[in-house]
């Protein structure tokens, strides 16, 4: 199959990849660009584990073709914050015990980031709606909603 050269910014760094029209963004991120923090849970858009931010918006990278990301900014969990400079969502997820096995965490945190950008002062029900495209099998969601709620408060008061 014919190969296309694409260029994108991955967590702020310019990257290049050689892709076919059939390659998904998920495939390219994991196999060519070493972004193993992006997870493959179903490959069919049902579980949300592969969620990344494409130009700041949450997308299922398994349903996004790599060529669609040409020229875009892609943010994965590692790009959201670091141990030295954590994002409020990352701090809140740890503090509230919203992480057990952690396999959904990457997609869940990024979905929450995108959701909070649109809903800075959400109710718990709105949070539940906002993350309903991301499956978690370990936590039962209560602590995830707690964490997102707290991160919203932190955001509202400005990042410390």
Given phi > 0 = left and psi -120 to 50 = alpha, else beta, which region is 70? beta
Toward another protein, which CB reaches closer, 57 or 95?
Answer: 95
Tell the burial category of 106 from Cβ atoms under 10 Å away from its Cβ (0-12, 13-18, 19+). Answer: buried
In whole angstroms, what separates CA 65 from the centre of its chain? Answer: 16
Interacting residue ranges for another protein, rule: CB under 8 A: 31, 36-37, 39-44, 46-47, 49, 76-78, 81-83, 86, 90-91, 93-97, 99-106, 109, 124, 127-129, 131-146
Toward another protein, which CB reaches closer, 67 or 135?
Answer: 135
Toward another protein, which CB reaches closer, 3 or 42?
Answer: 42
Q: Count of alpha carbons within 13 Å of 82, Cβ hemisphere only?
A: 4
Q: How far is the CB of 102 from another protein (least distance, A)?
A: 3
Q: Which two tokens stand for residue 68?
A: 């669609």
Neighbours of 46 (CB within 10 A): 13
Q: How far is the CB of 150 from another protein (least distance, A)?
A: 8
Q: E-assigned strands of 1-144?
A: 4-10, 13-19, 51-54, 57-60, 73-75
Toward another protein, which CB reaches closer, 71 or 140?
Answer: 140
Q: How far is the CB of 141 from another protein (least distance, A)?
A: 4
| Residue 17, strand partner residues | 6
Q: How far is the CB of 16 from another protein (least distance, A)?
A: 19
Q: How far is the CB of 108 from another protein (least distance, A)?
A: 9
């Amino acid at each position: 199959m014919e190969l296309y050269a694409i260029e994108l910014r991955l967590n702020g760094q310019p990257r290049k990849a050689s892709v076919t029209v059939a390659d998904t963004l998920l495939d390219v991120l994991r196999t060519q660009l070493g972004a193993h923090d992006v997870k493959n849970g179903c490959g069919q858009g049902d579980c949300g584990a592969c969620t990344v931010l494409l130009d700041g918006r949450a997308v299922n990278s398994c349903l996004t073709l790599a060529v669609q990301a040409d020229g875009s900014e892609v943010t994965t969990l590692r790009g959201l914050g670091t141990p030295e400079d954590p994002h409020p969502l990352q701090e809140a997820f740890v503090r509230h015990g919203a992480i057990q096995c952690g396999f959904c965490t990457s997609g869940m945190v990024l979905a929450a980031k995108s959701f909070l950008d649109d809903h800075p002062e959400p109710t718990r029900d709105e949070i539940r709606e906002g993350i309903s495209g991301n499956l978690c099998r370990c936590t039962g969601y209560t602590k995830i909603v707690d964490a997102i709620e707290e991160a919203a408060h932190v955001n509202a008061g400005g990042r410390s």
